[in-house]
C-alpha cells in the first residue's frame, strides 16, 4: 500500500479513525489469517550480497559469541553439580543471550552443516535439560540465587529468557526434526501457564515483553492452546496497575532496582486496546506490539487486530528513522513524542531486530507490501549497521550522525543481530492455500508444498547492488495459482518478463504484482527494478532535518563519512553529479557513491550499514542542501521520508 503525504485534513481524519477504533469495544472476530511463513528448513541462501555475510557470521561471529556464553554455561553446570554458581553477576537479562546465540547456531548449521558444532549444541541442550527443575521451571540466574519462581516478574527477566528459549527451541525442532530442546521449552511454558493462569499464583506480567511472542511461536509449532492463552493474558493484564498500584510515582514497582521507571516503560500506562502510541522502552514496546499482532493472527480478535494496525501505523509514520531505526531517547531508551527523531538518537540495535520481526509478523496478518518494505528497510540498514563487516564488533546504539567507533559492547544486542541475519531465509516467502508471496529479493532456493504438490523456486539476483531478479519455477501442480512479487515502494520504474516475453503493466494488489497461471516445469520470471540515486527529504514535522537531504539507492541509505573538519562544510548542491563507484576489496565490495559539484567539491558516500569500518570517522546521513527550493512529491516513502523532485 502506498502512503501519501498527510495534510491537516488527513491528519484530522486519522485521529478520528483512532478515536472511533478505541471507542469501539465490540469484540467481533476478524477472519483468522490463513497466511503462513514458508518453513525455513526449505530455504537455502545462495546470494552475492548475503552469502558472504553469512559465512562471516559462521566463521567469525559465532566462535566470538561462544566466549560470552561461558558465564551462562557455568551457572548451568553449577546447578547440575548442585553447587551455587553466580558467574553472570547481577545481570538478570544475560541468560537470554544463550538462547539467541543457540538460535543463530541453528540457522548456521542449516546453511553450513558442521558436525563438531552440532555436537556442541547437543551438549548445551543436554546441560539445560539437566538444569531444568522437575516442575519445568528453568531460569539459571534465579535457581543459583534461590529466587522464588516468577516472583517480581516485571523486573526479574526470567520471562525474557523464556521467550528467547521458546523461539530457539522451535527453530531447533523445525531445522533438525529433533525434540530434545522442544521438550525443555514445552515443560517451561506449561509451568508458566499453570503458575499465571491455571493456579493464578502471580497476577503480574512480564516487564520486558518477549515471552508473549515466544509463546505464540511455540503454539504455532505444537498446537497447545495454553501457550496462546497465556500470551493473550499477559497482554490483557497491562494497564490495570497489576505490577504496582503507585506505578506513576515509581513506588512499590521496582523491588530489585531503585531507579524510577513510570508505567509507560513497561507499556502498563493503559489497556492495550486503548493505546494509540507506543511508549516507553523501545525494545519492550515493539515486542509488546508483536505479541498483540501474534494474538490477532491466531484468534482474529478485532480488538487485537485494530490495536496492532493502529500502533504499527504510529510507529512507522511518526517514530521511525529513514534507516528503520527507532527509540531515540537516552532516558529509558525510549520512544519520544511523535516526530521526535534527533539524528543523535540512541536507536538500540535490539529495537531494529524487533521491528524486523514485527514486520514479518504483520505479513501473516495481511499481505501488504507496506510491511515488507519496512522489513527490507530495517534489515538492509539498521540491523546490518549493528555488526561490523568482519563480524566481531558491534553497535548497541545506531545514531544517524556522530563519530562513535565500533567496539565490543557485549550486551543483549550482538546475538540478537546475528541470529536475525543468519535467519534471513525465513523472511523471504509466505504462502496461503493457493498463493505464494515473495517479500525479499535474496538469491535462494526453496520448495513449497501446496496440497501435497511441490513448487520449486530458484531465485537469482544481484540485489541490492542492482535491481535484476530472475525466478526459475518448477511446479508439479496442474491448476492455476498465483505468485505475487513485491514491487518495492522506492521503485518507480520496473519491467517484468515471463518466459522472455514482456508483461504488460497491470494493477498492483497491495503493492504486489500477482501473476496467476498454470505454472510449468521450466517457467522463468524476470524482474528489473531501476535503481537511480535519489535525494530524500524528511516530513516537515522533523524539524531537525529542515533544509537537509539524505541519499538513497534502492533499499540502501547512504551517509557521508569523513574527518571532523570535513563535516562542517559538507553539503549537497543542486549541481552535484552523482556516480556509483565499485572498488574491489573496499568495504567488502559495497557500492560507494561519489558526488562532485561545479565547485569541484567532491564527497564520497558509504552505505549506512558499512559505516565505521575504516576507523573512527565522523558520519552523517542528513546533509545540508544548497540550491533551488525543493518540492515534496505526493508519494511518500515509509511515512516520513519523501523523494525530492
The pLDDT value recorded for residue 176 is 94
Span 239-261, average pLDDT: 52
Burial class of residue 539 (count of CB atoms within 10 Å of its CB; 0-12, 13-18, 19+): buried
Task: Report which of 576, 587, 627 is spatially closest to residue 609, judged by C-alpha positions.
Answer: 587
> Within 13 Å, how many C-alpha atoms sit on residue 387's CB side?
31
Q: Are 235 and 274 in contact (CB under 8 A)?
A: no
User: What's the rounded Cα separation, in Å, for the pair 593 and 281?
Assistant: 36
The pLDDT value recorded for residue 429 is 97
561-604 pLDDT, tens per residue?
877 667 777 888 877 888 898 877 778 888 999 887 767 778 88
Span 357-381, average pLDDT: 97
Cβ of 337: how many Cβ atoms within 10 Å? Answer: 11
341 contact partners, CB below 8 Å, separation of at least 6 = 319, 320, 321, 328, 542, 544, 640
429-482 pLDDT, tens per residue?
999 988 999 999 999 999 999 878 899 999 999 999 999 999 999 999 889 999
Span 313-323, average pLDDT: 96
The pLDDT value recorded for residue 615 is 67
Give the DSSP letter of residue 406.
Answer: P
The pLDDT value recorded for residue 271 is 95
Give the DSSP letter of residue 588.
Answer: G
User: What's the rounded Cα separation, in Å, for the pair 608 and 570?
Assistant: 17
* pTM for this model (two decimals): 0.91
Range in 222-236, 613-627, 630-644 the model is least confident about? 630-644
**Domain ranges, ordered by start, for the chain:** 68-237, 431-529, 533-644
329 contact partners, CB below 8 Å, separation of at least 6 = 335, 336, 340, 345, 346
Q: What's phi and psi for 41, nearest 5 deg? A: -70, -10
Range in 236-245, 306-315, 491-500 the model is least confident about? 236-245
103-133 pLDDT, tens per residue?
999 999 999 999 999 999 999 999 999 999 9
Q: Are 77 and 124 in contact (CB under 8 A)?
A: no
| Angle between helical axes of 158-176 and 96-111 (0-180°, round to 10) | 20
Name 485's bridge partners.
438, 513
Q: Which of the four pLDDT bands, split at 50, 70 and 90, describes residue 165?
A: very high
The kind and range of the H/E element at 633 are strand 632-637
Greatest Cα pair distance in the chain: 75
Cβ of 336: how many Cβ atoms within 10 Å? Answer: 18
Span 343-356, average pLDDT: 96
pLDDT over 80 (residue 30):
no
Name 233's bridge partners.
none
User: What's the rounded Cα separation, in Å, for the pair 403 and 391?
Assistant: 20
The pLDDT value recorded for residue 244 is 52
> Within 13 Å, how many C-alpha atoms sit on residue 131's CB side?
26
Span 533-548, average pLDDT: 90
Q: Three-class SS of residue 144?
A: coil
The CATH number assigned to the domain with range 431-529 reads 2.60.40
The pLDDT value recorded for residue 279 is 93
User: What's the rounded Cα separation, in Å, for the pair 645 and 427?
Assistant: 33
250: left (phi over 0), alpha (psi -120 to 50) or beta: left
134-147 pLDDT, tens per residue?
999 999 999 999 99
Q: Which of the four pLDDT bands, split at 50, 70 and 90, describes residue 10?
A: very low
Cβ of 317: how many Cβ atoms within 10 Å? Answer: 18
User: Taking CA 383 as the corner, what is the angle to CA 69 and CA 446, rounded to the nearest 5 degrees?
Assistant: 90
Q: Which of the four pLDDT bands, split at 50, 70 and 90, describes residue 231?
A: very high
pLDDT over 50 (residue 26):
no
> Within 13 Å, how many C-alpha atoms sit on residue 511's CB side?
23
User: What's the rounded Cα separation, in Å, for the pair 622 and 641?
Assistant: 12
Average pLDDT, the chain: 87
Question: What is the 3-class SS of 504-533, one letter each residue?
Answer: CCCCCECCEEEEEECCCCCEEEEEEECCCE
pLDDT over 70 (residue 19):
no
390-435 pLDDT, tens per residue?
999 999 999 999 887 777 778 899 999 999 999 999 999 999 988 9
Span 615-643, average pLDDT: 58
Amino acid at each position: 500500500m502506498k502512503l501519501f503525504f498527510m495534510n491537516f485534513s488527513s491528519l484530522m481524519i486519522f485521529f478520528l479513525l483512532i478515536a472511533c477504533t478505541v471507542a469501539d469495544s465490540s469484540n467481533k472476530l476478524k477472519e483468522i489469517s490463513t497466511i503462513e511463513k514458508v518453513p525455513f528448513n526449505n530455504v537455502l541462501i545462495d546470494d552475492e550480497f548475503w552469502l558472504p555475510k553469512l559465512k562471516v557470521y559462521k566463521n567469525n561471529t559465532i566462535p566470538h559469541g561462544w566466549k560470552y556464553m561461558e558465564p551462562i554455561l557455568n551457572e548451568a553446570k553449577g546447578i547440575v553439580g548442585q553447587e551455587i554458581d553466580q558467574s553472570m553477576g547481577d545481570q538478570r537479562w544475560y541468560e537470554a543471550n544463550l538462547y539467541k546465540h543457540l538460535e543463530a547456531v541453528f540457522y548456521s548449521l542449516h546453511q553450513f552443516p558442521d558436525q563438531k558444532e552440532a555436537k556442541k549444541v547437543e551438549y548445551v541442550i543436554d546441560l539445560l535439560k539437566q538444569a531444568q527443575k522437575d516442575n519445568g521451571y528453568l531460569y539459571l540466574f534465579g535457581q543459583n540465587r534461590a529466587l522464588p519462581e516468577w516472583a517480581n516478574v516485571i523486573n526479574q527477566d526470567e520471562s525474557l529468557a523464556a521467550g528467547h528459549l521458546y523461539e530457539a527451541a522451535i527453530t531447533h525442532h523445525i531445522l533438525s526434526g529433533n525434540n530434545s530442546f522442544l521438550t525443555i521449552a514445552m515443560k517451561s511454558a506449561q509451568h508458566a501457564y499453570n503458575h499465571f493462569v491455571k493456579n493464578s499464583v502471580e497476577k503480574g506480567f512480564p516487564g520486558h515483553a518477549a515471552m508473549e511472542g515466544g509463546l505464540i511461536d511455540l503454539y504455532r509449532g505444537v498446537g497447545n492452546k495454553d501457550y496462546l492463552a497465556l500470551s493473550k493474558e499477559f497482554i490483557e493484564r497491562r494497564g490495570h496497575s497489576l505490577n504496582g498500584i503507585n506505578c506513576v510515582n515509581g513506588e512499590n514497582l521496582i523491588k530489585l532496582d531503585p531507579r524510577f521507571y513510570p508505567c509507560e516503560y513497561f507499556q502498563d500506562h493503559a489497556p492495550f486496546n486503548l493505546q494509540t502510541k507506543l511508549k516507553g522502552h523501545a525494545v519492550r514496546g515493539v515486542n509488546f506490539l508483536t505479541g498483540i499482532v501474534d494474538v490477532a493472527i491466531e484468534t482474529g480478535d478485532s480488538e487485537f487486530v485494530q490495536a496492532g494496525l493502529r500502533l504499527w501505523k504510529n510507529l512507522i509514520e511518526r517514530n521511525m528513522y529513514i534507516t528503520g531505526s527507532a527509540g531515540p531517547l537516552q532516558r529509558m531508551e525510549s520512544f519520544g513524542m511523535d516526530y521526535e527523531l534527533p539524528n543523535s538518537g540512541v536507536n538500540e540495535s535490539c529495537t531494529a531486530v524487533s521491528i524486523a520481526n514485527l514486520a514479518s509478523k504483520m505479513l501473516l496478518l495481511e499481505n501488504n507490501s507496506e510491511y515488507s518494505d519496512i522489513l527490507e528497510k530495517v534489515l538492509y540498514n539498521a540491523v546490518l549497521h549493528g555488526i561490523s563487516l568482519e563480524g566481531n564488533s558491534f553497535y548497541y546504539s545506531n545514531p544517524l550522525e556522530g563519530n562513535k567507533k565500533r567496539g565490543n559492547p557485549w550486551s543483549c544486542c550482538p546475538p540478537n543481530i546475528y541470529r536475525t541475519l543468519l535467519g534471513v531465509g525465513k523472511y523471504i516467502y509466505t504462502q496461503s492455500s493457493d498463493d505464494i508471496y515473495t517479500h525479499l529479493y535474496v538469491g535462494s532456493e526453496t520448495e513449497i508444498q501446496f496440497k501435497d504438490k511441490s513448487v520449486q523456486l530458484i531465485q537469482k539476483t544481484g540485489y541490492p547492488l542492482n535491481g535484476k531478479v530472475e525466478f526459475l519455477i518448477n511446479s508439479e501442480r496442474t491448476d492455476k495459482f498465483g505468485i505475487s512479487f513485491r514491487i518495492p515502494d522506492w521503485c518507480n520504474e520496473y519491467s517484468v518478463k515471463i518466459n522472455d516475453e514482456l508483461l504488460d503493466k497491470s494493477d498492483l494488489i497491495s503493492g504486489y504484482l500477482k501473476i496467476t497461471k498454470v505454472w510449468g516445469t521450466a517457467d522463468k520470471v524476470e524482474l528489473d527494478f531501476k535503481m537511480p540515486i535519489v535525494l530524500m527529504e524528511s516530513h516537515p514535522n522533523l524539524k531537525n532535518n529542515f533544509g537537509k537531504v539524505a541519499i538513497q539507492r534502492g533499499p540502501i541509505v547512504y551517509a557521508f563519512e569523513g574527518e571532523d573538519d570535513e563535516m562542517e562544510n559538507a553539503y549537497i548542491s543542486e549541481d552535484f553529479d552523482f556516480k556509483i563507484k565499485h572498488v574491489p576489496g573496499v568495504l567488502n565490495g559495497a557500492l560507494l557513491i561519489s558526488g562532485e559539484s561545479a565547485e569541484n567539491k567532491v564527497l564520497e558516500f558509504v552505505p549506512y550499514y558499512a559505516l565505521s569500518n575504516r576507523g573512527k570517522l565522523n558520519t552523517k546521513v542528513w546533509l545540508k542542501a544548497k540550491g533551488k527550493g525543493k518540492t515534496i512529491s505526493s508519494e511518500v516513502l515509509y511515512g516520513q521520508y519523501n523523494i525530492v523532485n
